[in-house]
Amino acid sequence: MATASQIQARVVRLYEDHPFPSIADKQAKVGAEMPIRLRLLGIEPGDYAGRRVLDAGCGTGEYACWHARQGGHVTAVDLSEPSLRQASQYAADQGLPNVRFLKQSVLALDFPSGSFDYVYSMGVLHHTPDPYGGFRELCRVLRPGGVLIVSLYNRFSRLPHSARQALVRLVAGHDPDRRVAWATRLFPRTCRSLRRNRGDDAGAILYDAFAIPHESRHSIGALLRWFDANDIRYLGAFGPVTLRDNLLALSLLRHREFDGFEGYFAGFPLAAWAVRTLPRLAQPGRPPDGRPARAFRRPSRLSRGVVQLAWTVLGFRFSIFSLAGRKAEAAAE
């Protein structure tokens, strides 16, 4: 069995050879996704203005630069030096002086406690040997009253892809290049969908999907328990994790400002069909004015189960989820 340091080294090596996410049109892709993502997490883009923001596991910097464009003072960390170089160059090309990139592990952040107003980790903790330890480290550097966003692979909706990964490992062994080569033979449709969704000519997404040396999978309920154990109060979720919030999301998709969000499902026909069709079946009439509540209702066990089952049916695009929470204020002396 590999040690924690061996797991981390193997994961870092993969992303050094294949920097990720390496989105082709970074600004358009992230710009279309983030407004509705944040709305459902109980956050507005303008909330970042003037705030200290940590991107924990920034990859090639797409999200860090988006937050910098909203006026945040962004610190972004990663262990892949090629990814950090790409990210730094992208920030320089965009003329963003308010973002810096550092080589650090999310499991051992070199910042004092309470350093940041917003901390987020997009699909990183599940590739570490200690996801909960990393989560606690994110909570440590978040100030009381600050907001945390964590994205993780879902235990249930990830199952079909986990089966594909297992078959690829069986026939290709541990070599990343062999895994990707076999994945394209065994699952050509999935591979085409992934590359189309990213606009990825280099195939970095295929290494992330089929060659990653380590990943863990988590349920909504498990992450909520992490929140409770670390005094994080639930704010919202992407994708939505209650029936009411799914109806809200469908209503929001009728707003013109979210027209570009359909591209988030490019290459995933069933999910794209649902996003195009269900808003028309939602309650007719004019879309709701104003903004939803900053804090959504915490999902029940039944709601979580129904939603996770639906994600499994809708496919790969729903194999990762995000929860947001606010850290409890420090007790008065």
Which tens digits make up the pLDDT trace of 304-333? 999 999 888 877 778 999 999 999 997 443
Predicted local distance difference test score (pLDDT) of residue 290: 47
Question: What's the burial of 299, exposed, middle or buried (CB within 10 Å: 0-12/13-18/19+)?
Answer: buried
Q: Is 152 helix (H, G, I), strand (E, B) or coil?
A: strand
Asked whether the predicted pLDDT for residue 152 surpasses 90, the reply is yes
* 61 CB-near residues (< 8 Å, 6+ apart): 76, 83, 84, 86, 87, 88, 90, 91, 99, 101
Predicted local distance difference test score (pLDDT) of residue 333: 37
Q: Is 170 helix (H, G, I), strand (E, B) or coil?
A: helix
CA distance 261 to 279: 13
Q: C-alpha distances in angstroms, 231 versus 2, 87, 101, 227, 325? A: 32, 33, 29, 6, 9
What distance lies between CA 36 and its chain's CA centroid?
A: 13
Asked whether the predicted pLDDT for residue 252 surpasses 70, the reply is yes
Asked whether the predicted pLDDT for residue 81 surpasses 80, the reply is yes
For residue 180, the 8-state DSSP code is H
Predicted local distance difference test score (pLDDT) of residue 286: 43
Residue 245 banded pLDDT, cuts 50, 70, 90: confident
Residue 250: Cβ within 10 Å count: 20
Residue with the bigger pLDDT between 35 and 110: it is 110
Predicted local distance difference test score (pLDDT) of residue 266: 64
CA distance 61 to 248: 30
Q: Is 56 helix (H, G, I), strand (E, B) or coil?
A: strand
Mean pLDDT within 48-73: 96
Mean pLDDT within 40-56: 95
Which tens digits make up the pLDDT trace of 155-190? 999 999 999 999 999 999 999 999 999 999 999 999
Predicted local distance difference test score (pLDDT) of residue 195: 86
* 98 CB-near residues (< 8 Å, 6+ apart): 68, 71, 72, 73, 74
Asked whether the predicted pLDDT for residue 26 surpasses 90, the reply is no
Residue 18: Cβ within 10 Å count: 23
Which tens digits make up the pLDDT trace of 185-226? 999 999 988 888 777 766 899 999 999 999 999 999 999 999
Percentage above 90 pLDDT, the chain = 68
Asked whether the predicted pLDDT for residue 33 surpasses 60, the reply is yes
Residue 264 banded pLDDT, cuts 50, 70, 90: low
CATH number, residue 322: 3.40.50.150
Q: Which helix (H) or strand (E) holds 102?
A: strand 99-103
Q: What is the mean pLDDT of the chain?
A: 88
- What is the domain extent for residue 313? 1-333
Q: Which of 60, 13, 63, 77 has the alpha carbon at shortest distance from 211?
A: 13
| Number of compact structural domains in the chain | 1
Predicted local distance difference test score (pLDDT) of residue 256: 65
Q: Could you tell me which residues are beta bridge partners of residue 232? A: 327
CA distance 181 to 176: 9
Q: ∠ CA(294), CA(226), CA(73), 5° rounding?
A: 55
Residue 267 banded pLDDT, cuts 50, 70, 90: low
**Phi then psi dihedrals of residue 292, to 5 deg:** -70, 170
CA distance 91 to 80: 17
